[in-house]
């Protein structure tokens, strides 16, 4: 078989797998308002992960102390999702770790290191796929600039679903991007439902449908179809390039409320938005599916900070914000509001240059406000 035939055979397999994936997509939603016991898995991750996750877990333990004592909340510390263990097992999430993860309802996860190149898939991408966490919600809020954005990034498809499964031929490499009707419909619905339930009046759909005609074309068309069920919400289309510029443009950017986008554009633009808010260390994020949800910082494991011996100065605000999102998700609204208020009031600053507080000092100050 020559290389082209081999590549075609690999492509055929990918297509069959993707069709099987969408055939199994539907699942019942977990109702946390009635669930008797909620298990929260805590995963350290790599690099600065253990340092910041530890602080977020302390905060959760304090806020949920009564429920933990009563058994209605279980905090389960899950070990083994480290780059060393993943490489040794040759799995993006070692099977025994995945089994523990699946025994939880929601997860608080520190950043994990993703190897460049090779075939080892990112642990994040694998977890989003394994738990079918299709909605990546990333809030950015800067009250003094009148900015209040919520990004709804599609989290299981697009450029990511086959990102580790491209093909190489002599002198050429090909990757694949996949957009499905069901996958787009459910993220669009999540974005419009959020808008409707939170008094938002405007959704921006962001793609590059002028170039990615099939996939982004489908994303746009289906998002507009879903929008018809929300006549009170206005919708506008932007291409990702100009949207990247618009996030810096006053007074246009003040008009954006809910932003709906495919996976890779959502990845990129939410780093930009977080930077506008004060840095990626300030941004939390939820990865939500029907059955499971996972909460994390939007940034990576910052190996350079560890190399420089500055890990203790990693800002835990990102993952603590994610912990607040987790509390809201499991209907612990009061605890979430308490934490958000304390974060607003906390004046302690953490900077990666080590000139200010450490992660632990920040958490101490924050906890004194709870």
Give the distance from CA 361 to its chain's centroid.
26
CB closer to Mg ion out of 121 and 267: 267
DSSP state of 159: T
- Lookup: tokens for 337: 């509001």
Window 258 to 317, contacts with Mg ion (CB under 5 A) = 267
Q: Does 300 bind ligand IPM (CB under 6 A)?
A: yes
Q: Are 105 and 38 in contact (CB under 8 A)?
A: yes
Distance, CA of 231 to CA of 68 (rounded, Å): 43
DSSP symbols for 115-146: -SSSSPPPHHHHHHHHTT--EEEEEEEEGGGT
Three-class SS state of 294 = strand
The stretch among 36-44, 83-91, 118-126, 189-197 that binds ligand IPM (CB under 6 A) is 118-126
Q: What whole-number distance in Å separates Cα of residue 203 and Cα of residue 195?
A: 7
284 near ligand IPM, rule: CB under 6 A: no
CA distances to 21, 55, 138, 214, 277 from 318, in Å = 32, 11, 11, 35, 11
Stretch of 119-127, 215-223, 244-252, 305-313 lying at the interface with ligand IPM (CB under 6 A): 119-127
**x/- string (CB under 5 A) for Mg ion, residues 30-59?**
------------------------------
300 binds, among ligand IPM, Mg ion, none (CB under 5 to 8 A by kind): ligand IPM
124 makes contact with ligand IPM (CB under 6 A):
yes
154 is a site residue for Mg ion (CB under 5 A): no
The residue (of 44 and 267) whose beta carbon lies closer to Mg ion is: 267
Q: What is the CA radius of gyration of the chain?
A: 21
Q: Is 298 in the site for ligand IPM (CB under 6 A)?
A: yes
Residues 49-88 touching ligand IPM, rule: CB under 6 A, are: none
Q: Which is nearer to Mg ion, 159 or 267 (CB)?
A: 267
Q: Pairing state of beta strands 106-109 and 135-142?
A: unpaired
Distance CA 240, CA 261 (A): 9
Distances from the Cα of 88 to the Cα of 82, 120, 207, angstroms? 10, 11, 38
Q: Work out which of 81, 108, 125, 343 binds ligand IPM, going by CB under 6 A.
A: 125
Find which of Mg ion, ligand IPM, none residue 124 binds, CB within 5 to 8 Å per kind. Answer: ligand IPM
Q: Toward ligand IPM, which CB reaches closer, 100 or 286? A: 286
| Closest chain position to Mg ion (CB) | 267
* Residue 70: both structure tokens together: 């009563």
Among 267, 315, 320, 327, binds ligand IPM (CB under 6 A): 267
Size of the residue set binding Mg ion (CB under 5 A): 1
The least distance separating ligand IPM from the CB of residue 257, rounded to whole angstroms, comes to 21
Residue 158 found at the interface with ligand IPM (CB under 6 A): no
CA separation for the pair 247, 256 (Å, rounded): 9
Is the previous residue joined to 82 through a cis bond, with omega within 30 degrees of 0?
no
Q: Map residue 183 onto helix, strand or coil.
A: helix
Q: Which does 53 bind (CB under 5 to 8 A by kind): ligand IPM, Mg ion, none?
A: none
Which residue, 140 or 346, is less far from ligand IPM as judged by CB? 140
Give the angle 323-325-331 at the CA atoms, nearest 5°. Answer: 105
Please tell me the count of residues contacting ligand IPM according to CB under 6 A: 7
Tokens found for residue 180: 């499905």
Q: How far is the CB of 174 from ligand IPM (least distance, A)?
A: 20
Q: Is 137 one of the binding residues for ligand IPM (CB under 6 A)?
A: no
Q: Give contact residues for ligand IPM (rule: CB under 6 A).
A: 114, 122, 124-125, 267, 298, 300
Q: Give contact residues for Mg ion (rule: CB under 5 A).
A: 267
């Amino acid at each position: 078989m020559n290389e082209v035939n081999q590549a075609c055979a690999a492509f055929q397999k990918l297509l069959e797998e993707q069709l099987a994936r969408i055939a199994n997509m539907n699942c019942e939603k977990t109702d946390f308002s009635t669930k008797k016991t909620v298990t929260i898995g805590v995963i350290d991750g790599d690099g600065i992960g253990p340092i910041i996750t530890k602080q977020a877990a302390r905060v959760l333990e304090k806020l949920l102390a009564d429920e933990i004592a009563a058994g209605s909340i279980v905090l389960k510390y899950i070990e083994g999702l480290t780059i060393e263990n993943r490489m040794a097992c040759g799995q993006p999430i070692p099977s025994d770790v995945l089994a523990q993860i699946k025994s939880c309802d929601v997860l608080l996860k520190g950043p994990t290191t993703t190897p460049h190149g090779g075939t080892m898939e990112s642990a994040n991408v694998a977890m989003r796929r394994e738990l079918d966490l299709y909605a990546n919600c990333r809030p950015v809020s800067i009250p003094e600039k009148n900015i209040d954005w919520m990004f709804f990034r599609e989290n299981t498809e697009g450029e990511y679903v086959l990102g580790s499964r491209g093909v190489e031929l002599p002198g050429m490499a090909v990757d694949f991007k996949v957009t499905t009707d069901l996958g787009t419909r459910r993220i669009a619905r999540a974005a419009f439902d959020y808008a409707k339930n939170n008094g938002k009046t405007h959704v921006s759909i962001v793609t590059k449908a002028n170039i990615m005609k099939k996939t982004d074309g489908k994303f746009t068309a289906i998002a507009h179809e879903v929008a018809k069920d929300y006549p009170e919400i206005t919708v506008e289309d932007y291409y990702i390039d100009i949207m990247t510029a618009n996030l810096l443009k006053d007074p246009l950017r003040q008009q954006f409320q809910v932003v709906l986008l495919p996976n890779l554009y959502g990845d990129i633009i939410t780093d930009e938005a977080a930077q506008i808010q004060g840095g990626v260390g300030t941004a939390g994020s939820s990865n939500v599916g029907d059955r499971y949800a996972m909460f994390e910082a939007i940034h990576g494991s910052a190996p350079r900070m560890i190399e420089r011996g500055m890990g203790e100065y990693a800002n835990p605000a990102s993952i603590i914000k994610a912990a607040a999102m987790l509390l809201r998700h499991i209907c612990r609204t009061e605890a979430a509001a308490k934490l958000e208020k304390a974060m607003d009031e906390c004046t302690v600053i953490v900077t990666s240059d080590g000139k200010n507080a450490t992660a632990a000092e920040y958490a101490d100050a924050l906890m004194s406000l709870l």
